[in-house]
Structure 1
Amino acid sequence: MMLQCFLFGVISFIMTGARCEVAEVLAEAGSQAVLPCKCSILSTVSPAITWIKASTGTVWRKERNGLQFWGSSWLQTGSRVRCPHSQFERGDYSLQINSVRDEDGGLYTCRVDCGKQQVTDTFVRLRIIKVSVSPAVAIWGSSVSVTCSVTPWRTGASVQWKLNDSPFVSLTGTTKSEGQSVVKEKATDRLAGTWTCVVGYAGKEGRASAALSVQGIIQPSTDNTQVYAAVGSAVTLPCVFSSGLTPVNVVWERLTAESLLKSTPDHLPPSFSPSSAHPPMDKSVSSKEVGFEDAGRYRCAGSVDKQMLTRSMQLIIAKIVPSKKRDSVVLTCQLSDTSGVTKYDWVQVTYDLNGTESAVLVQEGMTLSISKVSEQSRGEWMCRFYGKQGILGNVTYQVHSMAGLSGQKSTDHSRNTATIAGLSFLLLLLLLILAQMYKNHQRRKRILPYPALETIVHTISNEREEREKHRVKK
């Protein structure tokens, strides 16, 4: 290549006194490359233009009579090469190569012959930058490599990697060799997107890009995702695979301290079940009514192309705990895990006759004290909790249900008081009967030592009863 440049330079120097200067062009594989060739010599006759590639000979040629020719190695791809005639009047004889390939890289010469020994040569070196990803669609956890190649390589050139327009720093390091820079990583969501290789030298810069798609469990997108739900509400634990994937042997398990030590995982709570209406890639489970005891960590796992994919998540349950005082009730917003909560606030929700909802922020904080008897306390109270990214969820409490429970307790208390009073009366009556029986028993003990006196007493008593009977009859 350098020898041909030298020969062309010598010829040009002899014929026109020009020097051999090589223009550099960087082009991305698959794009259009424009090789510049501008001649300052103006001629009244139509010039002859010849483009030559150092390794393959003539690329394209135009005679003075207007006939065009393509070199033998370019005949099959002649449609990729053209030199716009509309620019000739301006002295621009640049060559356009469409859909450039690696093999198109190299040294080109543009010769313009205007006659009368007026010949100019322009030298252009075309370098092709190509980014290739293997595989282009990677499964989560599998090995993936991204390669940037420059053909021909320029000694001293720098290579910088960008991912989604941001500088990329490899966790495992980048392998560099002459003409190539290779990044090898384990496929994760962090690697998905557009990879760009930026090649620079001598103030020039060229770039090429390629896309990498990582398939796996797309929802939730990361492990340890927190899912919030209120006691008694419906909740869904997501496990959605990438479109086109059909996972097999999908299992759900509840992670506890005990299950991590056992080979057999804990099963899901009975309230959770998969939905048959979901598409094949959606393996989510849901519960129509979740309880506070369902809080904890869960994991979804499934096999895709013999690659086991897993995603863990944490279910956090919220509830409102009331504590009653004499004239008020204190409501406490309680969550099974508060590590992600940064703020609480309380909102009173009311509805007018038309069912229109209105919400008024009352106060911030985990607890709220409201009056039992105040009309303003009636309605629905909502505790909202927030994290760094915004609102996480909410849980509600009905004041009238609380008042009903309080009234029920008062009624039960009244019933208990009446029962105690009745039992006390019966106990008093029983004591009086026992006292009377004791008196009769003592009286009999005093009479028993005198049988004749007892006979007289009974006789007198009987006669008294007879007289009373006759008196009644009269």
Structure 2
Amino acid sequence: MHLQQKAQLLLVLGLALVFEGVKCWDQEVIVAYGSVALLPCVDDSSALSHPSAVYWSRIVDNKMMTVWRREKSGLEFRPVKSPSRVFCPAPNFGKGNYSLHITGVTEEDGGRYICKVEGKTSMMKEIMLRIVKVSFSPPIVMEGFRVDTRCDISPIPKIRRHHWELNGKAADKAVLYSVSQRDSGNWTCRVSHNNVVGKATAFLQVRGISTPLADSSMVYAAVGSSVSLPCVFTEGLVQHSGIWERSSTARNSSLPLPSSLHQRSLVPLSSLDRSAWIETVENGDEGIYTCSGIMKLENIKIKVQRSMQLVVARVLSSSSKGQMTLACHLSNFSQVTSYEWLRVIYGVNNTQTVTSVSKSTSLKIPNVSEEDIGEWMCRYYGKDGLLGNVTYQLHRMGVQMGQSGSKSGNKVGMVMGLGSLFLVMFLILFQLYKNYRRKKMVLLYPAMETIVHEAATEQERIERCQAKLNEACGGDLKSVCV
């Protein structure tokens, strides 16, 4: 077998020197580990329409190793491997295409290959195949640990250039000293050599909490609404997870969880979603919410946690002299870059019309009227777009309060006059009622009423008699009248 290989190598070298019209090309192919390598061998002149024989060989340690060949008789030979990973896909070598395919390439497949075609004239091409492989050390890592990214090329060229990409975006890291979920994803190494570019990609898995990606994320919610607090663990052995705690933003002191906060059941433990939600957000529910859990990696228990800040939004209202002011208030507005007030009007069939009114933090509604009754919305934006919104319902009572406030200065006298009139009328009616009740009480005793009436009549008779006698006699005759 070795004699045959040496003879083939001598034959290739001899063909390169003897046959007239022989052309030699040095080509380079860079492919990813595990992919399909295409080694080009095409007769550009199309002079060889039906060659008699095609030989694919590989040079290893200055020895010629047969990879694939087809004899003049049409008999095809392949290495004794099951299954074979090399083949020529072009049937009958149509259009002068004698390219070789190698599936599932590994580092051992890299090296120099020679394609030799024999016919009326002969053609020989030499191809350099390089394999690019991306790997991580360790292959699976926990949040906060170190991981090394490697880009290996086989055979290694004397001069090479390569750069990294993470999920399609340029990355300049080769060593991640404190890996996070933001580092997980597809890492691609792009290699260029002799104006040939190749790439390889590998997926880096970071165990821990996948959602949210990092700490200090903001969650916005309006008073009276519901809000979800995400906490999803990655695949892996989760010992115990889904423990929620709350603390203040100022002193980082512990606070009780809201009464309307619900957590997903801890059973079964295989469930990765440990999210919680607040059914009805109230003023004062703001703060830092932390979800934590214990994960196991190579017999080591590691605590992972994720903190997020709940920002509560509400609308503050005030009125003065017929003008109502609505202010958009957030418990934390550090990430807010702009505000927008909108008027929302609902029509038939649940249609709504939204009109932008103002771009400031507060909104002033002068001369509040019936037309202003309804829904007002405040939207707040960050550098990446809309953060959230909060609505305010202006009711009829609010309109009446605004109108009375606007006219209070002009109607003070009228209000005082009406108050005095009502007081006088009340006193009169009360006195009439007392007289009526007194009369009703007297009528309850008719005998007493007769005695009182007769006594009054007799007293009048005596007084009249005394007056007449005094006038006639000029003396006191009271005893006579009695």
Q: Same fold (TM over 0.5)?
A: yes
Alignment partners' CA distance in 1, 2:245 and 2:256: 5
Q: Which residue of 1 aligns with 2:65?
A: 57
* Alpha carbons 1:320, 1:397 under 8 Å: kept: no
Cα deviation for residue 225 of structure 1 reads 1.9
What pairs up with 1:9-408 in 2 under 5 angstroms? 10-16=13-19, 22-38=26-42, 47-55=52-60, 57-70=65-78, 74-77=79-82, 79-84=84-89, 86=91, 88=93, 91-114=96-119, 121-133=124-136, 138-170=141-173, 174=174, 183-242=175-234, 246=238, 248-256=240-248, 260=252, 265-276=254-265, 280-305=271-296, 306-352=301-347, 356-370=351-365, 374-391=369-386, 392-403=388-399
Q: Which residue of 1 aligns with 2:440?
A: none
Q: Deviations over 1:108-157 (max 9, x none)?
A: 23344448xx7654333222222234566654334434322211111112
| Matched residue type, 1:25 | V
Alignment partners' CA distance in 2, 1:326 and 1:76: 94
Alignment partners' CA distance in 1, 2:48 and 2:230: 75
Alignment partners' CA distance in 2, 1:371 and 1:298: 41
Alignment partners' CA distance in 2, 1:119 and 1:351: 83
| Matched residue type, 2:283 | F
Alignment partners' CA distance in 2, 1:19 and 1:168: 42
| Matched residue type, 2:323 | S
User: Which SS does the other structure have where 1:30 is aligned?
Assistant: coil
Alignment partners' CA distance in 1, 2:264 and 2:281: 16
Cα deviation for residue 309 of structure 1 reads 2.4
Alignment partners' CA distance in 1, 2:363 and 2:123: 90
Cα deviation for residue 169 of structure 1 reads 0.5
Cα deviation for residue 80 of structure 1 reads 1.8
Alignment partners' CA distance in 1, 2:90 and 2:227: 69
* Alpha carbons 1:49, 1:62 under 8 Å: kept: yes
| CA RMSD after TM alignment | 4.2
Q: Deviations over 1:60-93 (max 9, x none)?
A: 23222222222xxx31146322235635465543
Alignment partners' CA distance in 2, 1:44 and 1:20: 19
* Alpha carbons 2:370, 2:399 under 8 Å: kept: no
Alignment partners' CA distance in 1, 2:30 and 2:345: 68
| Matched residue type, 2:362 | T
User: Which SS does the other structure have where 2:81 is aligned?
Assistant: coil
Alignment partners' CA distance in 1, 2:289 and 2:187: 34
Cα deviation for residue 343 of structure 1 reads 2.7
* Alpha carbons 1:259, 1:266 under 8 Å: kept: no
| Cα distance change on mapping 1:473 and 1:382 into 2, 3 Å | farther
| Cα distance change on mapping 1:227 and 1:470 into 2, 3 Å | same
Alignment partners' CA distance in 1, 2:125 and 2:71: 18
TM-score (norm 1): 0.70
| Matched residue type, 1:471 | Q
Alignment partners' CA distance in 1, 2:331 and 2:365: 24
Alignment partners' CA distance in 2, 1:129 and 1:373: 72
| Matched residue type, 2:65 | G
User: Which runs of no fewer than 5 residues in structure 1 stay unpaired?
Assistant: 175-182, 426-466
| Cα distance change on mapping 1:293 and 1:6 into 2, 3 Å | same
* Alpha carbons 1:131, 1:210 under 8 Å: kept: yes
* Alpha carbons 2:321, 2:402 under 8 Å: kept: no
Alignment partners' CA distance in 1, 2:258 and 2:332: 19
| Identity fraction in percent | 35
| Cα distance change on mapping 1:83 and 1:288 into 2, 3 Å | closer
User: Which SS does the other structure have where 1:293 is aligned?
Assistant: coil
Cα deviation for residue 9 of structure 1 reads 6.7
Alignment partners' CA distance in 1, 2:350 and 2:197: 65
Cα deviation for residue 224 of structure 1 reads 1.9
Q: Which residue of 2 aligns with 1:180?
A: none
* Alpha carbons 1:230, 1:319 under 8 Å: kept: yes
Cα deviation for residue 365 of structure 1 reads 2.2
* Alpha carbons 1:87, 1:93 under 8 Å: kept: no
Alignment partners' CA distance in 1, 2:335 and 2:7: 69
| Cα distance change on mapping 1:11 and 1:365 into 2, 3 Å | same
TM-score (norm 2): 0.69
